[in-house]
Structure formats: structure tokens, C-alpha cells
Chain A
């Protein structure tokens, strides 16, 4: 809960306060809880409202669905420079610099230094994306539970999740700097025979 609240308030102390306020609201409101959603998603809906309100004290707070819309900017998931141009003769829109395997320790992606890279990347995400990736991938909620708690559509939820995961993936890649330029001459040679490339490399 604190992780989710942190997206909306400036400090851990404020997040703890929001969580506390939420639990009190849950206990107070339990009689009015109608069981139309799970207790868990209901409690998180309260938490997000509380956190948004306290994070936006001066400004008017917007509903989560509006926040979600505002974060769907249609930015590319991977830097466009990583791909060949759309009008490339043989491989339009294919990787120019493909992703390469991360050096993953046996104990998993989060065992080594990458943990810090990932937590920093998540903390730097826009609020709605951060909320969705926290609930889905960190807390392990289903997409239906996330949609219910945040009152957003399944499509909206997927967009936020995709943007969030894409950004975190890029951050890991930037950290490892392990990307490999594809030798398209070699690929072409493999497909069409060596002649084309041999011709070119003749002195």
C-alpha cells in the first residue's frame, strides 16, 4: 500500500499517513461495503483517493481514469533509432540495434545491482503507470482486480502496464549498455548467397 501511495505523495511519511487514513476509512466504512468488489480492491480504491487528495492539496485532483488518459501519450515503446527505417529495402522497421541478453544472476533479475536500477525506474514512472505496474507485477494482482480498484477499462490498464514495463526495460538496458548492432550484410549474405557482400568487399 505504501508503494502505491508513494506515487501520489512527496514522502514516505506522507504515504504512511495515507495508508493509516485508509485503514481507518476502511474500518469506519466496513458496514457500507456491499461486497460488489473484493475487500482488497475496495481498500485500494480508498487508498488512491486518499493519496491523490493529500498529494494534490492545493491543486484540484483529477479522477484516476483522467490521469490514466493523460499518460497515454503514444510514445514509442523502444527508441525509434533502434530500428531500420520503414522504407528500408529488405528489412523495413526491423531491429538495427537489437536487444541482447541481460547478465542475469542465477538468483534472478533482482538479485544484483539491477535491483536498484529497477526500483529507481519504477519510482520515476508517471503516477498511473507506477500504480498499475506496482499492483500487477509487484503485488501480483490480476488485471481484473486492477481494473476494478482503479475504475479503468481493460484496454487502458494494458496501455499503462505496457508503457510502464517498456520504460523499466529500457532503463535496465541503458544500465547494462548491452546492445548489439546487427550485421545486415551478413544476414543478406545468408539469405541471398555470399555474392552481393563479396562484390562489395572486393578492393
Chain B
């Protein structure tokens, strides 16, 4: 077995850095080592745990704003537009 590389201290990431890279983390765009570093930080930092949770909750909740239904006037306008288009 080879020597394990020395782990950086558990808390070598500042919270000011954490809040800037959180979206890259959630998007899976952080290099593996940076992602582990961030996870180690979050384990020991209640503020950043809550921050991550808020960003996750926010991203996962906005789908509720989606409007499936078209306004009736707009639907009518669109149908007219298609009709005109077909005639021309």
C-alpha cells in the first residue's frame, strides 16, 4: 500500500468561497477534489449546510411557478394567426 496523500485540514475552505462555487457543485461541474473539499467543509459548518439547503430548495421549488395553461385570449389569438397563415 502506498502512502496516502496528506488530507488538507477539514476546514480549509472559507464560507466566502463556498457561496461562490455552490452552483458549480450542484451542477456537478466541480472537479472531484474540489467537490470533496466542499463536502468536508459543509460537514463542519452549519451556516454553509443551511446555505446549500436553501439553494437546493430554491432550485427545486421554482417549477411550481410554471403555468401550464395559456391565457384564453392568447390561445384565441394564436389560433387566428395559424388560420390566417394557412389562408395566405
Contacts and interface: CB of A to CB of B under 8 A. Distances in A.
A95 B17 CA distance: 11
Contact of B16 (A2, A83, A115, A155): A83
B31 interface: no
A109 B50 contact: no
Interface stretch (B1-9, B32-40, B75-83): B75-83
- B-side interface mostly: helix
Query: Most chain-A Cβ atoms within 10 A of its Cβ — which of B19, B50, B66, B71?
Result: B19
Nearest to B74: A16
The bracket for how many chain B residues form the interface is: 35 or more
Interface string A1-30: 011000000000000100110011001100
6 contacts: A16-B71, A20-B81, A24-B81, A137-B62, A138-B62, A138-B65
A37 interface: no
Contacts of B77: 16, 20
Interface of B: 14-17, 19-20, 22-24, 27, 29, 45-48, 50-51, 53-55, 57-59, 61-67, 71, 73-74, 77-78, 81-82, 85
Given A109-B61, A140-B66, 14 more contacts: A16-B71, A20-B81, A78-B16, A78-B19, A92-B14, A94-B16, A95-B45, A95-B47, A110-B62, A110-B64, A119-B65, A158-B27, A162-B20, A165-B55
Contact of A77 (B20, B53, B58, B66): B20
Contacts of A152: none
A104 B57 contact: yes
B15 A109 contact: no
A177 to B, nearest CB: 15
Contact of B58 (A86, A92, A165): A165
A99 B16 contact: no
A203 interface: no
A118 B65 contact: yes
Nearest to B27: A158
A165 B61 CA distance: 12
